[in-house]
Amino acid sequence: MAWFRKTKTPLKAQDRRDLPGDVWEKCPSCNEIVYREKFRENWNVCPECAHHLRLPALDYVRLLLDEGSFTEMDAEMRSGDPLSFEDLKKYPERLAQAERKTGRRDALISGHGRMERIPVSLAVMDFSFIGGSMGSVVGEKIARAGRHALEEGTPFIIVSASGGARMMEGIFSLMQMAKTSAVLAELDRAGLPFISLLTDPTTGGVTASYAMLGDVNISEPGALIGFAGPRVIEQTIKQELPEGFQRAEFLLEHGMLDRIVDRREMKASIAILLRHMLSLPAPETSETGSPEG
């Protein structure tokens, strides 16, 4: 009687390559293959080696703000085409393609909400929208979010992820460096905290303006941060760069960052900083040790 014999390999022993591709995620750092759902539950941080994969912009809103507290601002703003720019595609075509891909009008989400019950203004760059490039809409939305912080007397937090200024808008893009920096100067004069969170990658005109102007500049582990890319610098100076050059750990060692914080601890870490900067009392905790409210 062969009816009781096992003719199929148990699922546990099957080659993972035989399973649907959307079930697994391979960590680019430790090469461990992990359930994709585990990555999502862990805010796209590898549970094996703590490597930080990129996180969608809207997830940063969920990560940093209290549930249900976020109100988005200026969501319908769209870039124009001031230069009638065209390379392989016309600029309006690129914008439409990015909008279809992301469901957003441009490369920034801005608004206000609460972080451990502290009112804050928040702007988060979306790298999936034309490389998180900074054009006129990104700059204007940051300026408006900064002015909202001024009007309401709240701290301002920017999460940067960008390839730099958007070349399709030329000087209209580059002028956003000055405009956003001017708003941050107003916040400084008003004594309102500005926290800059740099994620992978933060480069170009964004690094040369608001991303490095925080009262506290924080980065996620391993983030690429710089103006020009390492390959461009090597080709320009004709020298080999140090190991880890332009990574967050290198910048912290050389005094360009204040802290490197694990993404999973980011909300609590920034909230502690804000309470200190605003002279607020520590939150009351429940029996489980977590903040109430």
* 46-69 pLDDT per residue, tens: 999 999 999 999 999 999 999 999
- Distance between CA atoms of 139 and 182, rounded to whole angstroms? 11
Residue 284 counted as domain residue: no
Phi, psi of 153 (to 5 degrees): 70, 35
Same domain assignment for residues 46 and 66: no
C-alpha to C-alpha distances, 275 to 101, 259, 268, nearest whole angstrom: 38, 17, 11
DSSP string, 182-193: HHHHHHHHTT--
Do 182 and 71 share a domain, yes or no?
yes
Residue 175 and residue 264 in one domain: yes
Does residue 6 belong to any structural domain of this protein?
no
Are 108 and 42 contained in the same domain? no
Indicate if 62 and 48 belong to the same structural domain: no
> What pLDDT band is residue 20 in, cutting at 50, 70 and 90?
low
Same-domain check for residues 40 and 104: no
**Could you give the dihedral angle defined by the CA atoms of residues 263, 267, 273 and 278, in that order, rounded to the nearest 10 degrees?**
160
Q: Are residues 209 and 247 in the same domain?
A: yes
| 133 and 47 co-located in one domain | no
Rounded Cα–Cα distance for residues 64 and 184 (Å): 21
269 and 135, same domain (yes or no): yes
3-state SS, residue 74: coil
Domain that holds residue 252: 55-278
Identify whether 201 is preceded by a cis peptide bond (ω within 30 of 0): yes
Distance separating alpha carbons of residues 194 and 205, to the nearest angstrom = 18
The total of structural domains in the chain comes to: 2
Instruction: Give the per-residue pLDDT at 10.
Output: 47
CA atoms within 13 A on the CB side of 19: 16
Q: How many helices (H) and strands (E) does the chain have?
A: 9, 9
pLDDT, one tens digit per residue, over 149-191 is 999 999 999 999 999 999 999 999 999 999 999 999 999 999 9
Q: Let me know whether 67 and 155 are in one domain.
A: yes
Any domain includes 163: yes
Residue 40 falls within a domain, yes or no? Answer: yes
Report residue 21's pLDDT band, with 50, 70 and 90 as the boundaries: low
Q: Is pLDDT above 50 for 12?
A: no
pLDDT grade for 11, boundaries at 50, 70 and 90 = very low
The string of pLDDT tens digits covering residues 241-282 is 999 999 999 999 999 999 999 999 999 999 999 999 999 998
Here the CATH number for the domain that contains residue 78 is 3.90.226.10
Structural domain contains residue 13: no
- Asked if 154 and 269 sit in the same domain, the reply is yes
